[in-house]
Amino acid sequence: METGEAASESYFYPYVTVREDMTMSKYEEIKQSLRSDKRVWLVTGVAGFIGSNILEALLLLDQNVVGIDNFSTGFRANLEDVRTLVSAPQWKNFRFVEGDVSSLAQCREIMSGVDHVLHQAALGSIPRSIANPVATNAANVDGFLNVLTAAKDEGVKTFVYATSSSVYGDDQKLPKTEDSIGMPLSPYAASKRINELYASVFSRTFGMKCVGLRYFNVFGKRQDAYGEYSAVIPKWIATMIKSETVAINGDGLTSRDFCYVQNVVQMNILATMVENGRENSVYNVAIGQRTSLIELYEEISDALRDNDIKFEKDLVFRDFRVGDIRHSQAQVRSAMEELCYAPTRNLKKSIRETVSWYVDKMSRRSV
C-alpha cells in the first residue's frame, strides 16, 4: 500500500505496509473465488453513490445482484454509468426494483432467494436530519428494520449494513475505537446508533450474522456534487472547477478521516465473506489519517492544477455547523486483523483520481 505523506497531526498505522501482501492477497483470493461461485446479493440504495460502486464491483465479479432504490438521493445516471463499465452478460445479472425500503412488503418481495444483504439505503447528512428528523427516522430506522426483518425471515447468510462515524458523538478520544462511543449529536447519528442496536438484538435473538460498517467521510466517483446536502469533497471539486467561491464551515482546522469509496467496497465484500469476522460486530471503515479542511482544500487545488485547472478565489469562512464534531479519526486495527482489511489508496492519490473523474464528467457535460 502506498502511504504517501501523512497530513499534519495524522495518525497512520505503521504495520499496514508490513501486512500488505497477506491482507491484499486475501481480498484478491475472495474476489477470485467469487468469480466461480455465483451468489445472489441484495444492495439497497443501489443507485446511490456507495451503492452504485458496490454494484459495479459485484457485477465485474459475475455476481447476481438485486437492487432497490427510490431515487430520493440516488440517480438513474449512476446505474447507467455502471452499465457502461460492465459487459452485457454481467449487466443481465442485475435486477433493479424501483421501490422503497419503507415498505415491508417490498422488502419481503426483493429478499426472495437472496444470499447476502448489503444495506446502504439511508437519508444521509447531519444538517438534513436536523432540518427533518421525522424523514430521517422513517428512512434510516423504519426502513432498516424492514430490511432486517425481511432478511431474517428469508434466512439470508449475512446482513452487512452501513452505519456511521457519527455514532461516536461527543466522545473526544482519538483515534476512535469501536468499543467506545459517546452521545449522538444529531438525529442522523441517533438513527445509525439505533441500527446498530437492532442488528445486535437480531443477531443475539435470531442467530443472524450482522456486521455493521462505520463509514468515515467516504468520497469518490458518482458522489452528488450539487445537492443541498452534498458532502464537502464533491461540492468543493465542482465549485472549484466552475471557479466559484469555496466556503469553509468554521476556522478550517476541523479534521476528518476521509475514506476512498473503493475501501468501502472492499470492506463490504470482506465483511460478507471472511469467516473469522465476529458476528454481531461493527468495524470502522477509514484509513486512519486525519486531514484538516484547509489541507483538504490544498489537496483538491493541487489535483485540479494537475488537470490544468487553476483556482484562485479567496476562501470564505462561515460559522461552525450545528451537530458537527471537531475532529474525527478512526482506528482500523480490528478490521485489519479480523477481516484482513487493507486500505488501497492514500488521500493524495484518491483525491487525484476523484478530481480527474469529475473533471472528465463535467467536460463531457459541457460538450
| 293-306 vs 232-241: helix crossing angle, rounded to 10 | 40
Reported as a pLDDT band with limits 50, 70 and 90, residue 22 is very low
Q: Where does the pLDDT of residue 326 fall: very low under 50, low under 70, confident under 90, or very high at 90 and above?
A: confident
Q: Given pLDDT bands bounded at 50, 70 and 90, which one contains residue 277?
A: low
Choosing from 13, 27, 188, 358, the catalytic residue is: 188
Res 13: pLDDT: 44
Domains of the chain: 15-218+260-288+327-344 (3.40.50.720)
When pLDDT is cut at 50, 70 and 90, the band that residue 23 belongs to is very low
Cell numbers representing residue 222 in the block = 458518482
> What is the pLDDT of the chain when averaged over all its residues?
89
Q: At a CB cut-off of 8 Å and minimum separation 6, what does 24 contact?
A: 1, 342, 344
Instruction: Give the span between the Cα atoms of 86 and 63, in whole angstroms.
Output: 12
Q: What is the phi/psi pair of residue 230, to 5°? A: -60, 150
**Residues 275, 211: contact at Cβ < 8 Å?**
no
Residue 284 to residue 287: CA distance in whole angstroms: 9
Give the 3-state secondary structure of residue 11: coil
pLDDT value for 26: 83
Report whether 202 contacts 211 (CB < 8 A).
Answer: no
- C-alpha radius of gyration, the chain, whole number: 20
Could you tell me which residue, 231 or 322, shows the higher pLDDT? 231
Phi-psi region of 334 (alpha: psi -120 to 50; beta: other; left: phi over 0): alpha
Average pLDDT of span 152-175:
95
How large is the average pLDDT for residues 352-362?
92
Helix runs in the chain, H state only? 15-18, 20-35, 49-60, 76-85, 88-92, 104-111, 126-131, 133-137, 143-154, 187-206, 232-241, 261-273, 293-306, 333-339, 347-366
Cell digits of residue 230: 452534498
pTM: 0.91
DSSP state of 179: T
15 is catalytic: no
Question: What single string gives the DSSP state of each residue in 47-61?
Answer: TSHHHHHHHHHHHHT
Q: Which three cell numbers, joined as nine digits, stand for 20?
A: 500488505
Total number of residues shown for the chain: 367
Q: What angle do CA 299, 300, 303 make, to 5 degrees?
A: 90
User: Do strands 40-44 and 116-119 pair parallel, antiparallel, or not at all (unpaired)?
Assistant: parallel
Q: What pLDDT, in 10s, does the model give residues 198-213? A: 999 999 999 999 999 9
Strands 116-119 and 158-164, bridge-based pairing: parallel
